[in-house]
Amino acid sequence: MNQPLASIHPNAKIAPNVIIDPFVTIEDNVEIGEGTHIMSGAVIMWGARIGRNCRIFPNAVVSAIPQDLKFHGEETLAIVGDNTTLRECVTVNRGTDARGKTVVGDNCLIMAYSHVAHDAIVGNNVIISNATQLAGEVVVDDCAVIGGGTLVHQFCHIGAHVMVQGGSRIGKDVPPYVKAAREPVAYTGINSVGLRRRGFSNETIAAIQDVYRYIYQHNLNVSDAVRRIEESVPQSPERDAIIDFVRTSRRGIIRGYC
């Protein structure tokens, strides 16, 4: 861990077997877990909490202050979970008073030049492709895959097991298990390939498709669609997750493709 060409604050809490390359900067109030590798030129700033077995590639910046004019120096965190990779020039800003922390979960891959803004919450097993930009207080649920160059507006919610086409502009919530594509972005079907890779059975995938037929193919408003789903589709964790997502959406869900 001792690297004479790195700048490491003496108060930083760094596990003994962390690898720190030359020209890394690690500030005060930082914690880094076992087995993590911080590569040359990375900057780990005040308030960073980095888990075990992470890889932080050159010129990534973790826990810079938010790009939010409402931020006034409050003590907040940027948390990166275990086994997560931040590629070149990724930026993860720390939180504001809104949530107090920005979180990237376990087993994530955040590809080069992507940005995770203040108070965003990224779940576990998420892939965010190159140059994707998450605005403040965005939520991305577990196992979502976001294609390169995607722009996600503040407060948007991307559901679990979603596949978002590269270059999309997300201004509404994307419900779980679906594909979001086209311009403007819309529901284009179930992410059946991703679901099968995650071990979902054909029966479960068919049940998810039944739910979304009511939402997108029966010419119902969202409230009526939810009521019909509850009346007609057998209860399951997936059905209930979709209903809960739709009911609690702050931005409204993406439209169907016509």
pLDDT exceeds 80 at position 96: yes
Query: How do residues 29-76 score in pLDDT, each as one tens digit?
Result: 999 999 999 999 999 999 999 999 999 999 999 999 999 999 999 999
- How do 178-181 and 186-190 pair as beta strands? antiparallel
pLDDT confidence tier of residue 3, bands split at 50, 70 and 90: confident
Query: How do residues 209-248 score in pLDDT, each as one tens digit?
Result: 999 999 999 989 999 999 999 999 999 999 999 999 999 9
- Asked if the bond preceding 184 is cis, omega within 30° of 0, the reply is yes
**pTM exceeds 0.85:** yes
- Does residue 82 carry a catalytic annotation? no
Residue 132, pLDDT score: 98
Cα 232–Cα 233–Cα 237 angle in degrees, nearest 5: 150
Residue 257, pLDDT score: 77
Query: How do residues 115-129 score in pLDDT, each as one tens digit?
Result: 999 999 999 999 999
- Does residue 136 carry a catalytic annotation? yes
| CA-to-CA dists, residue 7 to 11, 13, 43, angstroms | 12, 14, 9
- Half-sphere CA count of 214, side-chain side, radius 13 A: 20
Residue 113, judged by CB atoms within 10 A of its CB (0-12, 13-18, 19+), counts as: middle
Given the residues 115, 118, 157, 161, select the one marked as catalytic.
118
Our CA dihedral for 158, 246, 241, 177, rounded to 10 degrees, sits at -50
pLDDT exceeds 60 at position 258: no
Helix pair angle (202-216, 222-232), 10° resolution: 140
Rounded CA-CA distance 174/162 in Å is 8
Given the residues 68, 82, 119, 142, select the one marked as catalytic.
119
Given the residues 33, 47, 95, 136, select the one marked as catalytic.
136
Residue 168, judged by CB atoms within 10 A of its CB (0-12, 13-18, 19+), counts as: buried
- Does residue 28 carry a catalytic annotation? no
Provide CB contacts within 8 A for 201, sequence distance 6+: none
Count of CB atoms situated within 10 Å of the CB of 169: 12
Q: Mean pLDDT, the chain, as a whole number? A: 96
